[in-house]
């Protein structure tokens, strides 16, 4: 079946949904110019595996090196803008009683596009904190106030420990409240729209399986099959920035016909 037929199938699946979950990965931000996690390694960084850089051990071992990698990515992310796909997800809030975005992305683009209920599973790149969380979890610091540069990880003004991005590294637990809410939403949603994830990183990759186990319809948007495709009821092959606006246009048209 071609994409249009699959979108019509998806529109029927969304019908009467009270709670819609949207689970997004790095592919959701690709058309905003942010390389996916696996492609993030360009130029100097191409010889390093992100899973070897994004860990607390790597940061402790060589803080300035990991800091430089983050400042490199921060430069890419901070100039990124939401694309039509982000805005389409935000518009879904006008079509359904409740839409919750469960994102693995740390770029803040869903919120920037207007989504009002976003669960950030892996933190947010615009926040920085004391590694020791010396004033409580998290001990956030304002990077603009701290003397810092792109070459050296700054130090906490309270305790002197290293300052780090407020993101979840490999081997670290996800924020408890975010994780709990994500699994609750996955268990209660009528439809889970899964966008731009390879379905490799856990526990985020388990959310569509949780949704399916609890009777949700799983609709996947990806350029190619992923670790989620085996559990997807409907696979919309294509780029998020193209497929999501087409899906929302069809959902809106279907809603208008019902009025
Ligand atoms: C945890 C923030 C409990 C940082 C990220 C051994 C030791 C320790 C842990 C583990 C272990 N074995 C397994 C684990 C668990 C580990 C894990 O899952 N590892 C994987 C590699 C097997 N997980 C963890 O460590 C998590 N914590 O489990 O705690 C624990 C603790 C100790 C020991 C055991 C368990 C923490 C994981 C969070 C890591 N932090 N990000 C930062 O970004 O700097 S992960 C990071 O990578 C992203 O946030 C994202 O989650 C992930 C990348 O995945 P995707 O988003 O799927 O992106 P990817 O590039 O893979 O795929 C892109 C997709 O988009 C593709 O399918 C592509 O086709 C598609 N696409 C591309 N363009 C488009 C598109 N689709 C649509 N449109 C397009 N235009």
Q: Report the number of distinct structural domains present in the chain.
A: 2
Q: How many CB atoms lie within 10 A of CB 134?
A: 15
Q: Does residue 44 surpass a pLDDT of 60?
A: no
Q: Residue 14 sits in which domain range?
A: 2-34+82-122+175-258
Q: Could you give the CA distance from residue 11 to residue 9 in angstroms, rounded to a whole number?
A: 6
236 and 195 in a common domain: yes
93 and 74 in a common domain: no
Ligand 1 contact via 2 beta carbon (within 6 Å): no
Backbone angles phi, psi at 22, to 5 degrees: -120, 115
Q: Could you give the CA distance from residue 22 to residue 220 in angstroms, rounded to a whole number?
A: 10
102 and 10 in a common domain: yes
Ligand 1 contact via 33 beta carbon (within 6 Å): no
- Structure confidence by residue, pLDDT tens digits, 53-97: 889 999 999 999 999 989 988 888 899 999 999 999 999 999 999
What does the block give as tokens for 180?
Answer: 């709990």
Q: Could you give the CA distance from residue 183 to residue 196 in angstroms, rounded to a whole number?
A: 19
In the reported structure, the alpha carbon of residue 18 is separated from the centroid of ligand 1 by a whole-number distance in angstroms of 29
Which atom of ligand 1 is closest in space to residue 201's alpha carbon? 18
What does the block give as tokens for 114?
Answer: 């207007």
Q: Does residue 233 surpass a pLDDT of 70?
A: yes
Q: Does residue 43 surpass a pLDDT of 60?
A: no
In the reported structure, the alpha carbon of residue 50 is separated from the centroid of ligand 1 by a whole-number distance in angstroms of 10
Ligand 1 contact via 171 beta carbon (within 6 Å): yes
In the reported structure, the alpha carbon of residue 97 is separated from the centroid of ligand 1 by a whole-number distance in angstroms of 30
**Helix ranges restricted to H, the chain:** 3-14, 50-53, 56-61, 63-78, 84-91, 109-112, 176-188, 207-213, 240-258
- Structure confidence by residue, pLDDT tens digits, 103-139: 999 999 999 999 999 999 999 999 999 999 999 999 9
């Amino acid at each position: 079946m071609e994409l249009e037929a699959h979108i019509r199938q998806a529109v029927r699946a969304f019908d009467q949904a009270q709670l819609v979950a949207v689970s997004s990965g790095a592919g959701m931000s690709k058309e905003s110019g942010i390389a996916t996690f696996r492609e993030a390694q360009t130029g100097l960084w191409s010889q390093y595996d992100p899973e070897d850089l994004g860990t607390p051990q790597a940061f402790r071992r060589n803080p300035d090196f990991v800091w430089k990698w983050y400042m490199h990515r921060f430069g890419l992310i901070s100039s990124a803008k939401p694309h039509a796909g982000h805005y389409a997800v935000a518009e879904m809030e006008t079509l359904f009683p409740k839409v919750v975005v469960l994102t693995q992305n740390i770029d803040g683009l869903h919120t920037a596009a207007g989504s009002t209920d976003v669960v950030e599973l892996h933190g947010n790149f615009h926040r920085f904190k004391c590694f020791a969380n010396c004033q409580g979890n998290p001990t956030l610091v304002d990077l603009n106030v701290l003397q810092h540069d792109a070459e050296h990880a700054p130090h906490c003004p309270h305790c002197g420990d290293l300052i780090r991005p407020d993101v979840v590294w490999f081997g670290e637990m996800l924020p408890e409240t975010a994780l709990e809410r994500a699994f609750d939403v996955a268990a209660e949603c009528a439809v889970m729209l899964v966008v731009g994830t390879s379905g490799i990183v856990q526990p985020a990759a388990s959310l569509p399986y949780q949704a399916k186990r609890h009777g949700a319809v799983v609709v996947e948007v990806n350029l190619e099959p992923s670790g989620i495709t085996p559990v997807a009821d409907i696979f919309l092959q294509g780029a998020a920035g193209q497929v999501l606006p087409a899906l929302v246009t069809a959902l809106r048209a279907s809603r208008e016909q019902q009025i």
